[in-house]
Amino acid sequence: MRLSICIPTYNRAVFLDELLASIASQVSIEHTPLLEVCVSDNASTDDTAAVVARWQSHLPVNLVYHKNSENLGADRNYLQAVAIASGDFCWLMGSDDRLEPGAIDVLLARIDDNSDLNVAILSRNYYDCSFGSLLPIRQPLRRAFTNDVRFSGARQAIDHITYELGYLSVLVFRRACWLQVAGHEEFIGSAYVHVYKLLAMIRDCSGAVMYLSRPLVGWRANNDSFLNELKYLAGSGSTFSAMTGLLHDSSAQAPQSIGASLTR
């Protein structure tokens, strides 16, 4: 299995249905050995299970579904979404976003063309909450680069991508390296455990870190449903210091950009 689209979700049945429709519109039987979709349901009380069951009978690729017996919090559900996957690479996907047309084939091609890929940050289009209108571009990487970029080492990568790490749906990474990263328990409860994981991967794992310039994600603005539950890292001195400690050999700008990402 080449790629797993990993979707942690909680009580977003309507949005999840739209996301799965965007996946279904661009997959065929030819994708069966290459792609799977993995949904980790954090004990939803809405129609999430019924939505998944319907798509399991329609998607030509495997749709793995796991429902937690109780709500584990956002971080543990992120980890669970990757744990149930089997792909060489995982694409974390917010259950209220969607794939842009052609996204899957573009990403699979980039993975094949870059055999040393470790982490990829994707470009995204911004939409209003109903996906009715495109909004002005807010992604610094998209303003800075018009073509795909392979960063020359961990320092350059961290200096450029830290703002993006708080956006779940733009993150693609090699699953084996993700699973090797330890020390993340300290960040359970922050809703940003994945930021620690990815920074550690960039620091410790060999392989390329890339930015892919074609927008592959449709990002739904103003829909951060767990915003009020977050324990912001910048407001927790020891937690923020521990995470930015990964950047001990990077520039002074990197911790500031992480702070901007985590407190947006």
The residue extents of the domains of the chain are 3-262
Question: Does residue 229 register a pLDDT over 60?
Answer: no
Cβ atoms 2, 34 nearer than 8 A: yes
Question: Does residue 250 register a pLDDT over 50?
Answer: no
Q: Within 57-152, where are the H helices?
A: 74-83, 103-113, 140-144
Q: Within 66-169, where are the H helices?
A: 74-83, 103-113, 140-144, 154-161
Kindly report the number of other CB atoms within 10 A of residue 248's CB atom. 8
pLDDT for 244 equals 57
Interval 163-187: pLDDT, tens: 898 899 999 999 999 999 999 998 9
CA distance 35 to 59: 11
User: Which CATH number among 3.40.109.10, 3.30.450.20, 2.40.30.10, 3.90.550.10 corresponds to the domain 3-262?
Assistant: 3.90.550.10
Cβ atoms 181, 201 nearer than 8 A: yes
Residues 6 or more apart in contact with residue 153 via CB below 8 angstroms: none
Residues 6 or more apart in contact with residue 246 via CB below 8 angstroms: 196, 199, 200, 203
Cβ atoms 170, 138 nearer than 8 A: no
Distances (CA, A) of 58 to 47, 69, 93: 17, 26, 20
Interval 26-74: pLDDT, tens: 999 999 999 999 999 999 999 999 999 999 999 999 999 999 999 999 9
H or E element in which residue 98 lies: strand 98-99
**DSSP-derived secondary structure letter, 88:** S
DSSP SS3 for 191: coil
Average model confidence (pLDDT) for the chain? 87
Which pLDDT band holds residue 200 (cuts at 50, 70, 90)?
A: very high
Question: Does residue 21 register a pLDDT over 90?
Answer: yes
CA distance 238 to 250: 19
DSSP SS3 for 219: strand
Kindly report the number of other CB atoms within 10 A of residue 83's CB atom. 15
Report the predicted TM-score, pTM, of the whole model to 2 decimal places: 0.89
pLDDT for 231 equals 37
Proportion of the chain above pLDDT 90, given as a percent: 73
Q: What does the pLDDT average to over 15-34?
A: 97
